[in-house]
């Protein structure tokens, strides 16, 4: 596993998907792409991703549904919504559902990179915070608990990492 940021991009416009993936790869992202929501959910179950870029309007499962599933199944993933819609309403709905942010299409690449950077930062901080709490807990357990309960806590951490 590399130290690159692992990114999943989901959009039904193949041309768009292909070029954005190329450009982000050139900027040291580890990119996977999906043209359908269901496909994206499948890929995310097989590989781990730090971030996801989701198009909102897609045939079949739309961006909103994918967002809900990803946030449910993956504790630390941060999702950025891409929307061609002029309206902000649906994007706001998405942030309520846990999206990190949204970008209207077309966007400046720098803005996208900034947002990805911030989202990654948020993900790391969140993970760090949780890890910290875990460590504290383990430390507390270590001073007065059985070896079994420490092992149980470590197993939990191991499970969550998957």
Per-residue x/- marks for another protein, 130-149, CB under 8 A?
Answer: --------------------
Per-residue x/- marks for another protein, 29-58, CB under 8 A?
Answer: ----------------------------xx
CB atoms under 10 Å from CB of 24, counted, come to: 20
Structure tokens at 157: 């951490």
- 77, 52 in Cβ contact below 8 A? yes
- 120, 5 in Cβ contact below 8 A? yes
Per-residue x/- marks for another protein, 59-98, CB under 8 A?
Answer: x----------------------xxxxxx-x---------
In which residue are the tokens 């149980």 written?
152
Q: Is 107 in the site for another protein (CB under 8 A)?
A: yes
Q: Which of 105, 18, 19, 95 is nearest to 57 (CA)?
A: 105
Where do contacts with another protein occur on this chain (CB under 8 A)?
12-13, 15-16, 19-20, 22-23, 26, 57-59, 82-87, 89, 104-107, 109
């Amino acid at each position: 596993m590399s130290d690159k940021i692992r990114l999943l991009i989901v959009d039904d416009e193949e041309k768009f998907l292909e070029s954005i993936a190329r450009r982000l790869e050139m900027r040291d992202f580890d990119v996977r792409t999906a043209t359908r929501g269901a496909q994206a959910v499948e890929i995310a179950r097989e590989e781990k991703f730090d971030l996801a870029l989701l198009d909102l309007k897609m045939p079949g499962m739309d961006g909103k549904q994918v967002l809900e599933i990803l946030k449910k199944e993956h504790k630390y993933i941060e999702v950025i919504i891409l929307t061609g819609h002029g309206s902000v309403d649906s994007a706001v709905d998405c942030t309520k559902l846990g999206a990190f942010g949204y970008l209207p299409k077309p966007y400046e690449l720098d803005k996208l990179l900034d947002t990805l950077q911030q989202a990654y930062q948020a993900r790391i901080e969140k993970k760090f915070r949780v890890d910290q709490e875990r460590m504290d807990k383990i430390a507390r357990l270590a001073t007065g608990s059985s070896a079994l309960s420490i092992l149980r806590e470590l197993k939990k951490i191991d499970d969550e990492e998957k």
